Chains A and B, each alone.
Chain A
């Protein structure tokens, strides 16, 4: 970081200052005060880029004309959103289902914002790691291979014996604990309790290992399942690109403003279920807020009864929950952290319900008239 700024104002005032006292000069001098009005910003408007249709500074966005190269990154947040990895399954003699995964820790350079490269540490080459999904009571076997240059582990949230906990110093004599580069270990445990959990590396220094990208969602479905829905995973995260222990970029599923450029398409009146995990480091809190709608909130997903009907929630580090909602109207609906700083540093996106381009004023009015109270007071 450079602290080479401009000339200090005070210093210059001390050095030299004069005013044209002559009345005729007042006009010349008092030309200030035009700064704040965005409406007066560049009349040619659309240099702002970002969300189409807005002029100038409609909302925070990355520089126009550049997007992240998802192909080079090896993952695309749009695909990652609905990508659930059920593993290789087979039924055991006991009748239980065995699920097996192979997870490889890899050091990999990814583009975390357009033009910004970051040396990430990944599970299977992506950040967040694969969303592992099982059913309550399944037997799970996770083969972990450390292909990174640094020691790592996989520490699962759940209920399991200490040796399977993925914590250095515990279980080394059984081949577990800290997994050195080039080594491997197989974590074996049962899927319990049902709910939404996470897994992450637990090698010290913790913040460094986690913030580099070693985390992922871990979904355990209840035995009887949940109602059918359009399901998606949102891992709230960030990147400390200059290693100053604070994040420069915030996002869900790693790429800031991604769901602004590619809104999440959902159908009107469909049940939408979001598996929301907070994997953010350095900031103690994160949050989720959806516009023009409310959701049922199931903390940690461990109960089938929602705890709250709301539109804004807070999650601490490692907290997670299942959210359920329906969109009754077509249109673009923003969702973002209600920590405005995070929102404007990347953690903002859109849900696109129906086809908003078909949303003529008449259609909007029609949608309004379908309201339970019959659209009384609807705009003329």
Chain B
């Protein structure tokens, strides 16, 4: 047997593994080079006019000026020739040249005396006579991205994220008082609420992605983001579990751990949410009003309740009531990413990035649901029992009803 093993040839001869990995790559490169050198043998001349696909990535309004950032989404270069706003040609300059290579972008600064609150339809005439349309549903000046602005974005993040979530966590004493039989219902409430958040974020991510250049993935970015977030959180979960096993601390997998997961999921979700707020405020699409703030505070308060709901689990009793610092930490994890998102959104909004981040939020929430759902089980081990079903429906209803306050 020993001799036979020795005789069996190693796959790939005596070459080291890294070489075996590189050889196919090199061969592919050579094949592509030969193909290109021969001018694509057998394919003949390309037929048909050039394909012009351009996405409007960003619209900014300054006094007397409209600024559009274009991204070439198609296979051929596109050359901008003229720009008309509301059926009137307007003078403009292009910061990165008139010709946009594949996947490249340029920004058009159009001189136009636009008026607050009016709608504008823009068409960009290309060198081939084709047109690219852009529209401004309601014109409003884009705020300058200065220090004040970032301060305002931070405040927005705090209003959207930190404060409502923290307020929601004030239900903790109530949660800890309710009878043992209601615990599954509380978790179910969280699950229902998270499920609606995930659906909402998916739809919104897809909508943003539909405006993003399809060359960068478009809608598939949402799903890629979701998958990656789900896998990373799963890996993190395994890692933390191993460590806690080593430390021999059973409490680590208790209610506090579940609350932390929920907080992370909601936090990643709020990152995307903040991004959307920041970008729409920066582009003037978001009119801020006191009514909306109040509506949003109530809406996001439910997220806080979702975080504290698991803190009533049986296992959590082992670790005792969570400390104030722990609670604040949970609130920050869930709420603070909204600030970061608002900054990113305001400073460098990009629909592809936004779609990916919305996807990340969805994946995180999905992972959290999978992790906390077992706590919904009753003594018989059933997921769906009257209390859990009622809890989930209550969660869905809570988000829906408070959502009415913030939809316009």
Known A4-B211, A20-B156, A60-B89: A12·B285 in contact at CB below 8 Å? yes
A60 contacts which of B88, B204, B280, B294 (Cβ < 8 Å)? B88
Q: How far does the alpha carbon of A163 sit from the alpha carbon of B280 in the complex, in Å?
A: 66
B91 and A47 contacting across the interface, CB-CB below 8 Å = yes
Q: Does B279 contact A (CB under 8 A)?
A: yes
Q: How far does the alpha carbon of A81 sit from the alpha carbon of B93 in the complex, in Å?
A: 31
Q: How far does the alpha carbon of A113 sit from the alpha carbon of B290 in the complex, in Å?
A: 49
Q: Does B303 contact A (CB under 8 A)?
A: no
Residues of chain B within 8 A of A31, CB atoms compared: 141, 143
Residues of chain B within 8 A of A8, CB atoms compared: 137, 207
Main secondary structure of the interface of A (DSSP, over half): loop
Q: How far does the alpha carbon of A6 sit from the alpha carbon of B212 in the complex, in Å?
A: 9
Main secondary structure of the interface of B (DSSP, over half): mixed
A115 and B139 contacting across the interface, CB-CB below 8 Å = no
Of the 9-residue stretches B30-38, B122-130, B226-234, B250-258, which lies at the interface with chain A? B122-130
Per-residue 0/1 for B82-97: is the Cβ within 8 Å of any A Cβ (1 yes, 0 no)? 1110011111110000
Interface residues of A in 331-349 (CB under 8 A from B): 341, 344-346
Give chain A's interface residue range (CB within 8 Å of chain B): 35 or more
B156 contacts which of A10, A12, A18, A114 (Cβ < 8 Å)? A18
A62 and B82 contacting across the interface, CB-CB below 8 Å = yes
The minimal Cβ–Cβ distance linking B291 to chain A, given in whole angstroms, is 8
Q: Does A64 contact B (CB under 8 A)?
A: yes
| Closest residue of A by beta carbon distance from B74 | A2
A32 and B140 contacting across the interface, CB-CB below 8 Å = yes
| Closest residue of A by beta carbon distance from B81 | A115
The 5 residue pairs across chains A and B that have the minimum distance between CB atoms = A41-B64, A241-B129, A115-B81, A344-B88, A38-B113
- Interface residues, chain A, CB within 8 Å of chain B? 1-22, 25, 28-29, 31-38, 40-42, 47-50, 56-57, 60-64, 112-118, 239, 241-242, 244, 248-249, 256-257, 341, 344-346
15 other A-B residue contacts (CB within 8 Å) besides A6-B283, A63-B91, A341-B87:
A2-B133, A4-B213, A9-B280, A13-B287, A13-B408, A17-B288, A18-B296, A31-B141, A34-B141, A40-B64, A57-B90, A115-B127, A117-B129, A244-B131, A248-B84
- Interface residues, chain B, CB within 8 Å of chain A? 53-56, 58-59, 61, 63-65, 73, 79-84, 87-93, 98, 111-116, 123, 125-135, 137-141, 143, 148-149, 151-152, 155-156, 159-160, 200, 204, 207-208, 210-213, 273-274, 276-277, 279-280, 283-296, 351, 403, 406-408
